[in-house]
Amino acid sequence: MHSVPRLLRILVRLDFIAAVVLTVLLPLVLLVRAVRSRREQVADLLGYWRASSLLMVSVYLLIGKRRTAFVSGIAARLLIPWSLRHASYTNDPRFTRWKRWITAYCLGGALLNLPLLACLRQQSPTALCRAYIEPTQEFGAVLHPGVSRETLGRVGDAGLLAFVVGAVLLWLSGRKK
């Protein structure tokens, strides 16, 4: 098994940092601001958080080395801009700017991550697949010391199941209206 090339390792870690900033920290700041000022953006941001929860599920799936993580990660990057497509246009330039950044980041990331779908078929993970697994396992070790990767992978399995069931129920409730 060959080691992960240094440049690939750096690029993947930069992607994880960008994901934390753009998909967790900035929307959290926007949500707190919207709640404090009672803005209509709260509903838009809650819709965003529902879609972006699939990213966290994907991280836990990767910690457990679940191949489904590669599909759910791409799906999350497509669902996030979709969830924001009807977000109200307010006078808040920060929200509008973030919405543009997150849309570009997620759609570009989904496109760039398409080669990861090959990881679904491989018995032994390639350097590309391992490059995406390594940072998540480090994240799991830091955030959940003493908890096995397999247990965290099962948390990801449960999260994926809950996400899919929730999405189906939401879709069914929308069809009945």
pLDDT score for 39: 74
- pLDDT (tens digit per residue) in 134-150: 999 999 999 999 999 99
pLDDT cut 90: percent of the chain above it = 67
Say yes or no to pLDDT of 87 above 70. yes
* Intra-chain end-to-end CA distance of the chain, in Å: 54
pLDDT score for 151: 98
- Confidence category of residue 175, pLDDT binned at 50, 70, 90: low
Tokens 């006078």 found at: 91
pLDDT score for 33: 87
Class of residue 125 by CB neighbours under 10 A (exposed 0-12, middle 13-18, buried 19+):
middle
- Confidence category of residue 115, pLDDT binned at 50, 70, 90: very high
Mean pLDDT of 155-166: 96
pTM: 0.90
Amino acid at 97: R
pLDDT score for 177: 53
Could you tell me the CA-to-CA distances from 129 to 47, 133, 136, 167 in Å, in that order?
Answer: 30, 6, 12, 27
pLDDT score for 144: 97
Mean pLDDT of 8-17: 93
Mean pLDDT of 47-58: 93
**Which two three-digit tokens encode residue 64?**
């457990």
Among candidates 111, 107, 96, which has minimal Cα distance to 26? 96
Rounded to an integer, what distance in angstroms lies between the CA atom of residue 149 and that of residue 143? 12
The rounded Cα 94 to chain-centroid distance in angstroms is 21
